[in-house]
Chain A
Amino acid sequence: MRQFSMTKTIIQFILFLFTLAVLIPLLNILALSLSDPARVSELSGLGVLPKGFSLINYEIIMSNPFILKSIFNSVFITIVGTLLNLFLTAITAYVLARTEFVGKRIVLVVLIAIMVFEPSMITEYLLMKDLHLLNSYAAVILYKAINVYYLFILMRFFQEVPTSILEAAKIDGAGHFRIFTRIMLPLSKPALATLALFYGVYHWNEYFRATIYLSDPNKWPLQVVLRQFVVTQDNTTLLKGVEGMTPELLATLDFGSLQSATIVVAVIPMLLLYPLILKYFTKGTMDGGVKE
């Protein structure tokens, strides 16, 4: 027995406009990247359907060894970084969640202090220099190996594991490391999956530390390369090393479309994981009350 309500209809319509404002710019980028370069100038800035259809922009990007390398670099940083994040966060959270751990208060105070006072990017940079980590992935991965917010989320999760299970394992002679690997980790698969997504999204989107720490362009992740095209408008790199690039072909290309195709490539992994992200992020954010 739902009555027709004018207010509700207006609300639905306002929210529809809101989603259009989010979607149209995204779909316009996709349309730009898929349009036939000869007809791309016909595409309106609000257009969501490609003019003609061509995969030439993607072919060119995918035949640029520099871009391919950067995609590989991004995947590498994301996987290795996330695994390290998970290991360090989980093992630290385990200790902090144990009641028999002496000194929990001090550690928590230090962690909160770390959360409120971030070191300056200059001293962090000089530290990497002193440790001879400049131009290595270690600098990019290590500087945020544990996120304190996520550490607290996992700690709270571990604290909720019934102590009876742990006591039983202890009686069976299991030590802390064994309890951690055989009981805690398997029990917290959903929490770990959530954190893996948190950390994974972070690594995939990270560009700033990579910009300042990695001076060798061959080590750049995709986001840094994309920034080079989009923000600094460096089009020579976009075409460097592309096989079979002739002046004739070059003349037919549209740089805006090539940039759009690179943006799409950078967004695709996020879109593939988006159903999972929606499920876990939304829940994690609501439960943890963490805004990140």
Chain B
Amino acid sequence: MRKISSLKRIRKDWILYLMLLPGMLYFVIFHIIPIVNMKLAFQDYRIIGENVWVGMKHFEQLFSSPAFKDVLMNTVIISTMKIIFIFPIPILVSLLVNELRFGPYRKYVQSVSYLPHFLSWVVIAGIWITLLNPVNGGVNVIRDFFQLPSLDYMTSKEHIRWVLVYSEMWRSAGWDSILYLAAILKINPSLYEAARIDGASTLQQMRYITLPALMSTVVTLFILNLGFFMSAGFDQVFNLMNDSVLSVIDILDTYVYRIGILNGQYSYATAAGLFKGVIGLVLILGTHFLSKRLTGKGVW
């Protein structure tokens, strides 16, 4: 009975389904087909004729390759550094901005700090390469002031990962504080009034009212970040990479790009991509259910 009524409803509103067609065609062609085609990881790519099934060949090759191990390590190290050093900053920024009165100064701080978020990584790379220039870049001007020798950060294996951390911080510290600020604005103002009457200082109010109220947002965003752990920031690395530091900042995505798009080893690169995709999927699903457990709110 229900089936018939559904069919009837579809027939009555057929124009609705016609309107859905372009969108669905797009998703099938440009998302679902490329995902299904990732079976290429288990095949050998042929320019002419059908691809040949080869089982786990490319994965065995991948896991026995020292290059892949390095790339995996880099991805994990860079992602971990970013989570430890970047994640707390927007929380701090939102706490500080919240102490500013609504007015021109607050507006100035917000407008300026959001700006880098809207610049492309190509532009940011240009700005940072200039900023870190060993001859006359801003950072070395400061080093010079403290009579420290000039450093070429962009080609230093020791420093380049920190360049990734700081440039990402520069780009996102302001913008990422927005969600925390939104959560702060929802806090009942009478809490602060009561605290003030009891003689709580600004810092005490931050510590005992604002921060606890932010915790659920913090948890949600933290696990959301974990879900993207395997990505480690492709656009950033792609634009700040150079030959002298490649070995310490080559991550999974840049590796896939190099061996796949540049060298044409399509099957092998797809295997690396699939490995990353599956781990990413497990992380996202895992964090989604963990988040639901902890905060009652999923990632989607």
Selecting from B64-72, B79-87, B131-139, B156-164, the interface stretch reads: B131-139
Size category of the binding interface on chain A: 35 or more
B16 and A122 contact, CB distance less than 8 A: no
B200: min CB distance to chain A, Å? 12
B9 and A28 contact, CB distance less than 8 A: no
B34 and A286 contact, CB distance less than 8 A: no
Q: How many A-B residue pairs have CB under 8 A?
A: 256
B112 and A88 contact, CB distance less than 8 A: no
B113: min CB distance to chain A, Å? 6
Encode contact with B along A78-103: 1 for CB under 8 Å, 0 otherwise: 00000000001101101110101110
Asked whether B130 is an interface residue with its Cβ less than 8 Å from the other chain, the reply is: yes
Q: Which of A15, A89, A122 contacts B269 (CB 8 A)?
A: A122
B273 and A12 contact, CB distance less than 8 A: no
B300 and A115 contact, CB distance less than 8 A: yes
B234's closest neighbor in chain A, by CB?
A208
Asked whether B40 is an interface residue with its Cβ less than 8 Å from the other chain, the reply is: yes
Asked whether A143 is an interface residue with its Cβ less than 8 Å from the other chain, the reply is: yes
Asked whether A226 is an interface residue with its Cβ less than 8 Å from the other chain, the reply is: yes
Asked whether A207 is an interface residue with its Cβ less than 8 Å from the other chain, the reply is: yes
Q: Which residues of B contact A118 (CB under 8 A)?
A: 277
A283: min CB distance to chain B, Å? 10
Encode contact with A along B22-53: 1 for CB under 8 Å, 0 otherwise: 11101101111111011010000000000000
Asked whether B56 is an interface residue with its Cβ less than 8 Å from the other chain, the reply is: no
| Most A CB within 10 A of own CB, among B15, B26, B126, B253 | B126
A6's closest neighbor in chain B, by CB?
B202
Assembly CA distance A12 to B30 (angstroms): 48
B35 and A117 contact, CB distance less than 8 A: yes
Encode contact with A along B188-232: 1 for CB under 8 Å, 0 otherwise: 000000000000011100000000000000000100100000000
Q: Which residues of B contact A212 (CB under 8 A)?
A: 257, 261
B262's closest neighbor in chain A, by CB?
A212
Give residues of chain A (234-251) contacting chain B, Cβ–Cβ below 8 Å: none
Encode contact with A along B230-274: 1 for CB under 8 Å, 0 otherwise: 000011001100000000000001001100110000100110011
Asked whether A44 is an interface residue with its Cβ less than 8 Å from the other chain, the reply is: yes
| Most B CB within 10 A of own CB, among A11, A23, A44, A146 | A11
Q: Which residues of A contact B234 (CB under 8 A)?
A: 208
- Kindly list the 10 A-B residue pairs having the minimum CB-CB distance in the complex, ordered from nearest: A120-B273, A92-B23, A119-B34, A205-B120, A45-B138, A230-B126, A123-B34, A123-B37, A7-B202, A19-B112
Contacts A116-B281, A231-B129 known; list 12 others, CB within 8 Å. A7-B99, A7-B203, A11-B96, A14-B96, A45-B141, A92-B23, A125-B260, A204-B120, A231-B125, A231-B126, A263-B126, A291-B176
10 contacts between A and B (CB under 8 A): A15-B97, A29-B127, A110-B27, A118-B277, A125-B260, A127-B30, A207-B120, A231-B125, A263-B126, A291-B176
